[in-house]
């Protein structure tokens, strides 16, 4: 079975000349970084192979991201990187201002070679305050979040039933989980999946 | 006043327990998560290997009430570690308690499946850093096994 490190190694070595150049100044080459077993992270500790924050700028194949804790990240998108923004997207959908979570392999020069980047992804639970054919008003800990149905994208999962494009079974007052894509600097979310317990 | 726990022995004392796992954000964050604090333990951070557990205190139990779904869970406090194994992939992660949750009683009877492998009731929430070790964040909800490492 191919590990994610092997996949990333292959992707970086195959098309990531920038990564090779960047790591030339480090103590380890990328082969060593990807060839090594992923180091165990102690429970409770920050994971160095994970990053979160908002994109400040995009240059070539690198996202320059300011973490919410004010730590700066350089996130390299390589051939094998998957990007999500309400669904699988191409790299050009990553925009300044987007929030993100990313997982990958931290290179010796500090760059995170990304396996996955989730753009604007949110996963919130709350009560349905109102619902129309196009919108769902969610009370999330007293904060209203306006959730938009996106044709061809939004689905509901009613317990263990297969995903359905029919959101009409959702009811005012019930509790749901909304997984979706945040519209930056608003209280609005585009719905990917609504999870309903029944 | 907090309601008392069920007299039934917690199922997790008998061995691994299966349930649903989701993810939540905490600590410094963007978007709807920006108003989220550091959790009941005061240490929660989306980028750390942590989780929320429904029985960290009497006050926590009074909110989450997994017993109303027929599930008894042990009292385990901040810093206690669990191993969470995704039943879809078989991969696992070891994390420590940093918050109270999920609110199990609001999703009683809900079931998640991977093919024929299913689990019911929300018993644990992981931080994004932890969840993304065992599943894609875009999956949102998965069946899992919870054990003590």
Residues of chain B contacting residue A101, judged by C-beta atoms under 8 Å apart = 46, 128, 132, 137
Closest residue in A to B99 (Cα–Cα): A44
Question: Do the Cβ atoms of A99 and A185 come closer than 8 Å?
Answer: no
| B79/A44 CB distance under 8 A | yes
pLDDT by 10-residue block (mean), chain A, 198 residues = 56 44 32 52 97 97 96 95 97 98 96 98 96 95 95 94 94 97 98 96
Closest residue in B to A87 (Cα–Cα): B138
Helix (H) or strand (E) holding A123: strand A121-131
Range A35-68 burial, b when 16+ CB lie within 10 A, else e: eeeeeebebbbbbebbbbbbbeebeebbbebebb
For residue A1, the model assigns a pLDDT of 43
d(CA A135, CA A148): 5
For residue A38, the model assigns a pLDDT of 60
Q: What domains are there in chain A, each with its CATH number?
A: 4-37+47-119 (2.40.50.140), 121-196 (2.40.50.140)
Closest residue in B to A121 (Cα–Cα): B138
pLDDT surpasses 60 at B141 = yes
pLDDT surpasses 90 at B55 = yes
Q: Is A45 on the interface with B (CB under 8 A)?
A: yes
Q: Is A3 on the interface with B (CB under 8 A)?
A: no
Rounded to the nearest angstrom, the minimum Cα separation between B84 and chain A is 12
Residue contacts between A and B (CB atoms, under 8 Å): 132
Please report, to the nearest 10 degrees, the dihedral formed by the alpha carbons of residues A191, A195, A198, B2 taken in order.
Answer: -120
Report the relative pairing of strands B92-100 and B81-86 from DSSP bridges.
antiparallel
For residue A27, the model assigns a pLDDT of 31
Please write down the HEC assignment for all residues of A25-88: CCCCCHHHHHHCCCCCCCCCCECCCEEEEEEEEEECCEEEEECCCCCEEEEEEEEEEEEECCCE
pLDDT tens digits, one per residue of B106-118: 999 999 998 899 9
pLDDT tens digits, one per residue of B60-81: 999 999 999 999 999 999 999 9
Residues of chain A contacting residue B50, judged by C-beta atoms under 8 Å apart = 43-44
Q: What domains are there in chain B, each with its CATH number?
A: 31-147 (2.40.40.10)
- Which of B32, B47, B110 minimises the CB distance to A52? B47
DSSP-derived secondary structure letter, B43: -
pLDDT surpasses 90 at B46 = yes
Please write down the HEC assignment for all residues of A152-176: CCCEEEECCCCCECCCCCCCCCCEE
Summarize the confidence of residues B28-40 as an average pLDDT. 88
For residue B11, the model assigns a pLDDT of 83
pLDDT surpasses 70 at B2 = no
For residue B34, the model assigns a pLDDT of 80
What percent of chain B lies above the pLDDT cut of 90?
83
Residues of chain B contacting residue A68, judged by C-beta atoms under 8 Å apart = 27-30, 34, 46
Q: Is A121 on the interface with B (CB under 8 A)?
A: yes
């Amino acid at each position: 079975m191919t590990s994610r490190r092997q996949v990333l190694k292959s992707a970086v070595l195959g098309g990531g000349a920038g990564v090779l150049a960047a790591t030339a100044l480090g103590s380890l080459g990328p082969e060593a970084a990807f060839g090594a077993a992923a180091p165990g992270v102690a429970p409770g500790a920050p994971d160095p192979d994970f990053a979160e924050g908002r994109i400040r700028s995009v240059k070539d194949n690198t996202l320059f991201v300011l973490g919410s804790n004010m730590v700066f990240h350089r996130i390299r998108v390589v051939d094998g990187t998957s990007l999500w923004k309400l669904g699988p997207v191409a790299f050009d959908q990553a925009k300044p201002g987007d929030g993100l979570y990313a997982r990958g392999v931290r290179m010796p020069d500090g760059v995170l070679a990304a396996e996955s980047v989730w753009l604007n992804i949110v996963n919130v639970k709350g009560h349905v305050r109102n619902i129309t054919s196009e919108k769902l008003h969610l009370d999330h800990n007293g904060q209203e979040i306006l959730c938009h149905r996106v044709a061809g994208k939004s689905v509901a999962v009613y317990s263990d039933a297969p995903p359905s494009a029919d959101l009409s079974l959702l009811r005012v007052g019930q509790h749901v989980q909304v997984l979706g894509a945040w519209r930056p600097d608003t209280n609005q979310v585009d719905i990917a999946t609504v999870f309903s317990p029944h | 006043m907090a309601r008392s726990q069920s007299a039934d022995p917690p199922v997790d004392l008998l061995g691994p327990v299966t349930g649903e796992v989701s993810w939540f954000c905490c600590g410094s964050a963007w978007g709807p998560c920006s108003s989220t604090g550091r959790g009941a333990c005061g240490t929660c951070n989306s980028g750390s290997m942590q989780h929320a557990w429904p029985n960290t205190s009497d006050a926590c139990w009074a909110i989450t009430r997994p017993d109303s779904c027929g599930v008894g869970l042990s009292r385990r406090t901040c810093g206690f570690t669990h191993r969470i194994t995704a039943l879809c992939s078989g991969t696992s992660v070891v994390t420590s308690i940093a918050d109270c949750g999920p609110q199990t009683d609001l999703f009683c009877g809900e079931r998640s499946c991977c093919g024929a492998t299913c689990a019911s009731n929300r018993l644990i929430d992981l931080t994004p850093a932890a969840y993304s070790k065992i599943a894609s964040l875009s999956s949102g909800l998965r069946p899992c096994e919870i054990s003590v490492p």
